[in-house]
A and B are shown apart, each in its own frame.
Chain A
Amino acid sequence: MTSDPATVLEARNLVKKYPGVLAVNGVSFSVPEGTCFGLLGPNGAGKTTTVEIIEGVTRATSGEVYYCGEIAGERFRQESGIQFQNTALQDHITVLETLEMFRALYERRADLDHVIAQCSLGELLDRDNRKLSGGQRQRLLLAVALVNRPRLVFLDEPTTGLDPQARRNFWTLVERIRADGATIVLTTHYMDEAQILCDDIAIMDEGKIISRGSPEQLLLDRFGDTLINLPNGEVRRPNLEDLFLDLTGHLLRA
C-alpha cells in the first residue's frame, strides 16, 4: 500500500511505547508539498518522539512513515534535512569544515555558497564550532540541515533558548527556505512562531493529535467571533495561544 505521491510526508498510526509510558498513541497526518506543517504541544506531549520516528532516528513500536508515496528509506535520508532540538557538533572544527563534512555525506548536494548566504554564516566560516553564540549555532545547525538541498526540512524547536532578535532572524531564514520550495515540518511550543510560519498545524497532547487545521480555521472553529476582554479594558481576537491553552489546559504538567 502506498501513499499519494502529491503528499510529501505521511505518518500512519504511529505508536511508541516505553516501559510504563505510551509516548505516541496512534498519530497520523500528512503533509502536502511546499507547505509548512506545525506540530504543537506542551512539553512531554510526544511531538519530538513523533518527529524522531518520522526522521528514522527512533524506532516506532508500530506504524508506518511514507515519503513521496514510498516507505521512508534511503531516498528519504538523501532528500530530507533535519535540525534537532539538541545537537552537539565536533570540537575544534570550523563552521565551513562542518558544512563540508555533512555535505559530503549526501549524493544530493546544495551549492554551499547559497546555503552560507541563506543562513548568514559568511562572517563565521573560520570560527570554531565551540565559539558560536546560541543564535549563530542555530543558524549553523539549520545550514547543516540544508546542505543536501532537501525537499523536506524538519525543524525541532529551533528557536528554544534564543533571544527575541535571534528568533525573528530565524523566522526570516525559514521563510527563505520555504521560498526555495522546501516543505517544512516544524515542532514548537511557541504559538506566535507557529501562527507566523505554519500553513497547517496539529496540536498534540498525551501522545495524540487533538486538533488539526490551518491556524485561522482552528481559531474560527473553536472561538467563532468571540472576542477577549483584557483586564486593561482592551479587546482582542483569540490567538493560537488561547486555543492551545483551551485545548490542553492551564495546569502545570508533572
Chain B
Amino acid sequence: MLQRIYAIFRARNREFVRDRASLSWNLILPVALVFGLSFAFDGQRDEFTVGVLQQSGEVDVTAHPFFTTPYVDFVAYDDLDAAMIKVERHQLDLLVDPGPPVRYWVNPESAKGYFAELALMQSVAPRDDTVIKEQITGEPIRYSDWVLPGILGMNMMFSCLFGVGYVIVRYRKNGFLKRLRATPLSAFEFISAQVASRMVLIMLITSFVFAGTHLLLDTRMEGSYATLFVVGAVGAISMISLGLIVSARVTSEELAGGLLNLINWPMMMLSGVWFSLEGAGDTLQAISKVFPLTHVLDAARAVSLDGATFVDIAPSLAALGVQSAVFLVIGSAIFRWEQY
C-alpha cells in the first residue's frame, strides 16, 4: 500500500514542480503581495498631519510649543483657502495659524482632527499632577507583521483548493482516473497520495516564502517556528480535504472552478486575510469560524505576534482537526473515479 501511495505521490510532485508557470505563481504571488503591502502601509500610516500657515517652506518649530509634538507631521501652507479645503476633505487633521493670536481650523467630523485639537490644547494647558502617567514601551506591530500570515494562508488556501480540487477533476475528465482505477490502487491510497503531495509542496513553498519575507522585512516572530509550522500543516490538511469534497464527483473544470471560487471568496473576505474582524458583529464572527482559514490565521497570528504556545492555540488546532476529519470522510464517501 505504501509503495502505491509513494508512486502516485512522487509522480504528482514531479508534475507540479516541472510545471514552471504554476510553481512560479505559487512563489511570486505571496512575496509580491507582502512586499507591496508593506511598502504601501508600513511606517507612517498612523501619524497625524497638521497644516501650519506660514510663508517659508519649513515649519518654524519655535513658533509654538504644539509644533514639537511627536507623531505629528507638520506641513507648511501659505494659501489659507487651499489649506481649508484639505481640512474639509480630511486630508489635513488640523490647520494652525501660529499668530498671534493662535487660530486653528478643525473638521468636527474628523476623528483624527478631534485628537489633534486635544493635543493642541494640551500643549498650552497647565500641567495636572493628579493624573499619573505610566509608560509601556515596545515595538509596534506593522501591517506587514500582521498581514504576512494572512497572505501565506491565502496562498495556501488557493494552492490546496485548486491544486487538489481542480487537478482531480482534470484527471477524471481526461480519463487518467479511470486508468488508475483499473490498477490495484484504491481510492483511499489515491486520495492519501494527493493529500500528502500537496501538503509537502505547500509546506515547502510556504516555509520558503515565510523565511524570505521574514528575513528581508524582519517581520515579527514572538513564538516558536515549530508551532507555526504545525499550524500550517494542520491548516493545509484541512483545506486540501475541503478541495477533495469539491473534486469528489465533479466532472467539469468550469463547474469545479465556480465551486472553488464560491469557497475561496468568502474565506478571503471573512477570515481576516486583509483586515481584522475584531470590530465586526457577532454574527459575522460566528460565520467566519466555519472557515478553516479563520482558524489557521487566528492561530498563526497568535504564534507570530503574541508568542502563543500549543496550549494557547489548542482550540484552533482542534477546530481544524475536526473540520479535516469531516471533510475527509465526506470526500472519501462521495469520491467517484469515473466521469459518468
Is B184 in the interface zone, CB < 8 Å from A?
A: yes
A102:B183 contact, CB within 8 angstroms: yes
Query: Considering the complex, which residues of chain A in the window 77-129 have a beta carbon less than 8 Å from any beta carbon of chain B?
Result: 77-78, 80, 82, 84, 86-93, 97-98, 100-102, 104-107
Q: Count of chain A residues with Cβ under 8 Å from any Cβ of B?
A: 28
Given contacts A57-B338, A58-B338, A105-B4, contact A88 B15 (CB under 8 A): no
Chain A residues within 8 Å of B10, by CB: 101
Chain B positions 1 through 40: 1 when the CB is less than 8 Å from some CB of chain A, otherwise 0: 0011011101110110011000000000000000000000
Minimal beta-carbon separation of B158 from chain A (angstroms): 20
Q: How far is the CA of A56 from the CA of B6 in the complex (A)?
A: 24
Given contacts A92-B19, A101-B10, A101-B11, contact A78 B176 (CB under 8 A): no
Q: How far is the CA of A102 from the CA of B8 in the complex (A)?
A: 9
**Chain B contact residues, CB within 8 Å of chain A:** 3-4, 6-8, 10-12, 14-15, 18-19, 171, 174-176, 178-185, 337-338
Is A74 in the interface zone, CB < 8 Å from B?
A: yes
Partner of A92, one of B18, B171, B182: B18
B337:A106 contact, CB within 8 angstroms: no
Is A55 in the interface zone, CB < 8 Å from B?
A: yes
Chain A residues within 8 Å of B19, by CB: 91-92
Minimal beta-carbon separation of A239 from chain B (angstroms): 33
Partner of B11, one of A56, A74, A80, A97: A97
Q: How far is the CA of A15 from the CA of B4 in the complex (A)?
A: 33
Chain A residues within 8 Å of B337, by CB: 57
Q: How far is the CA of A93 from the CA of B3 in the complex (A)?
A: 18
Partner of B14, one of A55, A84, A93, A105: A93
Residue of A whose beta carbon sits closest to that of B6: A104
B178:A106 contact, CB within 8 angstroms: no
Minimal beta-carbon separation of A233 from chain B (angstroms): 48
Number of residue pairs across A and B with beta carbons under 8 Å?
70
8 contacts between A and B (CB under 8 A): A57-B182, A74-B184, A84-B175, A88-B174, A90-B11, A101-B8, A105-B180, A106-B184
Chain B residues within 8 Å of A58, by CB: 338
Q: How far is the CA of A88 from the CA of B180 in the complex (A)?
A: 11
Residue of A whose beta carbon sits closest to that of B18: A92
Query: Considering the complex, which residues of chain A in the window 49-86 have a beta carbon less than 8 Å from any beta carbon of chain B?
Result: 55-58, 74, 77-78, 80, 82, 84, 86
Q: How far is the CA of A89 from the CA of B11 in the complex (A)?
A: 11
Q: How far is the CA of A91 from the CA of B176 in the complex (A)?
A: 11
Q: How far is the CA of A216 from the CA of B126 in the complex (A)?
A: 119
Chain A residues within 8 Å of B11, by CB: 90, 93, 97-98, 101
Residue of B whose beta carbon sits closest to that of A145: B182
Minimal beta-carbon separation of B193 from chain A (angstroms): 11
Chain A residues within 8 Å of B14, by CB: 92-93, 97
Central interface residue in A58, A82, A92, A100, by most chain B CB within 10 Å: A92
Minimal beta-carbon separation of A165 from chain B (angstroms): 26
A88:B176 contact, CB within 8 angstroms: yes
Q: How far is the CA of A58 from the CA of B181 in the complex (A)?
A: 10
Chain A residues within 8 Å of B179, by CB: 82, 84, 87, 89, 144
B183:A77 contact, CB within 8 angstroms: yes
| Given A56-B181, A101-B10, 13 more pairs with CB closer than 8 A | A56-B182, A57-B181, A57-B338, A77-B183, A84-B179, A91-B15, A92-B14, A92-B18, A97-B11, A100-B7, A101-B7, A105-B7, A107-B184
